[in-house]
Every structure is written in C-alpha cells, then in structure tokens.
C-alpha cells in the first residue's frame, strides 16, 4: 500500500474531510492484497464504483419490493374492489371509489378523525414536554439520574403488550389508581377505560408515558452536548433556574425538536398496541383512531376493502409527515 497513489485517486470530497492517512492501521494493511495487480485493474472501475456498491442493497430491496411495496399497491387495488374476508381468494368485483364513499359516509367517520387528531395532539405535546423535562432531570452525572434513565428506557424496551396490560390493570375499576383516588376523597370509582368520555384520554396519556423515555434519550444527547461554560456563564449573568432552562437548554435542543416532533406525531398516529389491549377502540368507537379503524373494518368486521380504503387514507396522511421529515433531514445534512 503506497501513500502517493492513494492521494492521487482520492475524490475531491475526501480532502475536505481531512482524515489522517491510516498508515499501518491493522484494518487496512491486509497482507492478502496483491502488490502489483490491483492498480492497473482498479483504475477504470473507480469512477463507477459507487454504483457497484449499490449491489449490496439487493437483498433489502428484494424484501421491501416483495413484502412492502407490492402489498401497498395491492392495498390500493383492494380498496377499489369489493373484497371481504370470505371472498379474499376469489375474483373481486371492481367497485371504483364506492368503498371510499362508504367510509366518508360512515356515521362515526368524523368522530374517528377527531379522535385521531386529539390523540396525536395529546401524545405529541405531552411526549415532547415530558421528554424534555425528563431529559433535563436525567442528564446530571448522578447515580439517581442514570438509574432513572436506565429504568425508563427499560420500560421502552419491554413488550408493549405487557406494559399495556399493566396499565389496564392499574386503571381498572378496582385498580391502584382508583384505590388511591378513593382514599384521597373521590366519592366513586372512575371508569378510565370504560367511560366513553375518558377512554381516549386515558390511552393517550399512557401512550405519551410510553414515548417519553425515547424522547428523553434524544433530548438528553442534545443537552449533554451543551458546553458547560455556557451554563456557568448564564449563571454568572444572573440567570435563574427557569431562565437557564429557557435560554440554554431549550435553545440547545431546538435542532432535534423538529425531527423528534415528526417522529412523535407518527408514533402517536400509528399507535395500535395500547389501544388494542386497553380499550379495543371502545366503548363503541370512543377510542378508535383511523389506523385502528382500518384494522377493525378489515379483520373484525371482515370487510377487507373497507379496511383497505381506511388504510389508504391513513397512508396519505403519513406521506405528508414523511415529506416534512425528509425535507428537514436533508436540510441538516449539507454533504449529500
């Protein structure tokens, strides 16, 4: 391996990265590399080497094309036909946009859309504010703080079915929360999961609780990146605790916030596990969101096409989020 030839072939962008030559690195000095053969053969291929590397995408691309892209096309196709669970393997009758008309005419459609919006707003607002507060609380290099972070992330890593079952138990009619409420003077038990005015909020609160650990982890990384001198300087300038949080902490997490907001919105929008376990979308459709409704239509009511139309609508909403996210990521990645 020879230094000069390496420099000659290096693309312009490489110089800008200013990397030291890894001479003598055990990772590069492979003894199996021939001494003279490579340079001659390598040269013409060098310019389109980028394309050759794309070959490594083939296994992933194959799986995604066959089991993600193709099914989505099929989902759109199903939404234009009359398909039920019973006629799934038969020929389907083309019905045009009728399934969409039925969806919009469904008596609970607007209520479900409203549920979805309320759910997403609550989970996102609490998830971000709570995540930030938790990040401030777990960032100090103290044992109590590190252990708390470990505990919170562990709950994030636990199977959602288990965590949702715990909350179903805690919020049940004679569960812990109701017992505490009765002891502090409530006159009757609260039907957190059975009351049609409360069920949606209960599930949304638990979902916010579930997303806070992950958001705290992301915010924490931003907070740990703050120059300690900045905090000290703010203090010397007479900034109180709240002012430090406002002008130092919040200012420094702002770059992560946009992307994290989109991620949390999407998390809330996609939420399924907690709704399924805690309320099953009920009572009635009181805690049903749009993606959950797609499931109910297709697999509970056995109307595959109706579920497909609902899912396509949910998918269109997701496309908007994805657009915002990608636009924002690209802005933060000037090198591409």
Shortest Å, Cβ 71 to other proteins: 4
Shortest Å, Cβ 83 to other proteins: 8
What is the 8-class DSSP label of residue 11?
-
Shortest Å, Cβ 285 to other proteins: 15
SS3 (DSSP) at 77: helix
Nearer to other proteins, 73 or 105 (CB): 73
Shortest Å, Cβ 97 to other proteins: 18
Q: What's the rounded Cα separation, in Å, for the pair 213 and 180?
A: 25
Q: What's the rounded Cα separation, in Å, for the pair 210 and 308?
A: 28
Q: What's the rounded Cα separation, in Å, for the pair 168 and 235?
A: 45
Nearer to other proteins, 190 or 280 (CB): 280
Shortest Å, Cβ 22 to other proteins: 5
Nearer to other proteins, 105 or 319 (CB): 319
The CB density around residue 78, as the number of other CB atoms within 10 Å, is: 23
Shortest Å, Cβ 34 to other proteins: 5
Q: Which residues in 18-40 are b (16+ Cβ under 10 Å) and which e?
A: eeeeeeeeeeeeeeeeeeeeeee
Nearer to other proteins, 1 or 118 (CB): 1
Shortest Å, Cβ 199 to other proteins: 15
Nearer to other proteins, 97 or 151 (CB): 151
For residue 268 the two structure tokens come to 């809330």
SS3 (DSSP) at 94: strand
Q: What's the rounded Cα separation, in Å, for the pair 117 and 2?
A: 61
Nearer to other proteins, 155 or 190 (CB): 155
Residue whose entry in the numeric block shows the structure tokens 């969806």: 103
Residue 133 CA: distances (Å) to CA of 219, 223, 250, 254 = 9, 11, 10, 14
Phi, psi (degrees; rounded to nearest 5) at 31:
-75, -20
Nearer to other proteins, 78 or 198 (CB): 78
Q: What's the rounded Cα separation, in Å, for the pair 212 and 153?
A: 9
């Amino acid at each position: 391996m020879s230094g000069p030839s390496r420099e000659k072939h290096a693309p312009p962008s490489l110089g800008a990265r200013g990397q030291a030559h890894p001479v003598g690195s055990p990772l590069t000095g492979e003894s199996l590399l021939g001494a003279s053969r490579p340079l001659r053969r390598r040269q013409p291929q060098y310019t389109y080497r980028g394309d050759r590397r794309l070959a490594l995408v083939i296994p992933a691309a194959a799986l995604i094309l066959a089991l993600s892209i193709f099914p989505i096309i099929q989902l759109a196709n199903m939404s234009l036909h009359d398909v039920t669970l019973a006629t799934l393997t038969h020929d389907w009758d083309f019905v045009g946009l009728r399934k969409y008309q039925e969806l919009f005419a469904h008596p609970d459609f607007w209520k479900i859309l409203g549920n979805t919006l309320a759910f997403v707003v609550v989970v996102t607002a609490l998830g971000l504010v709570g995540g930030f507060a938790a990040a401030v609380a777990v960032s100090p290099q103290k044992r109590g703080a590190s252990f708390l972070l470990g505990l919170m992330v562990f709950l994030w890593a636990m199977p959602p079915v288990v965590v949702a079952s715990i909350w179903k138990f805690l919020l049940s009619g004679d569960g812990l929360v109701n017992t505490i409420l009765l002891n502090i003077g409530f006159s009757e038990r609260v039907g957190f999961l059975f009351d049609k005015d409360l069920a949606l909020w209960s599930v949304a609160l638990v979902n916010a609780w579930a997303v806070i650990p992950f958001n705290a982890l992301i915010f924490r990384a931003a907070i740990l990146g703050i120059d300690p001198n900045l905090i000290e300087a703010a203090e010397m300038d007479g900034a109180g605790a709240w002012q430090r949080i406002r002008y130092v902490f919040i200012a420094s997490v702002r770059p992560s916030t946009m992307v994290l907001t989109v991620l949390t919105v999407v998390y809330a929008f996609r939420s399924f596990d907690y709704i399924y376990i805690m309320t099953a979308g009920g009572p009635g459709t009181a805690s049903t969101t749009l993606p959950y409704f797609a499931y109910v239509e297709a697999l509970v009511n056995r109307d595959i096409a109706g579920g497909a139309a609902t899912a396509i609508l949910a998918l269109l909403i997701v496309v908007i989020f994805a657009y915002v996210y990608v636009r924002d990521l690209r802005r933060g990645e000037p090198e591409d």
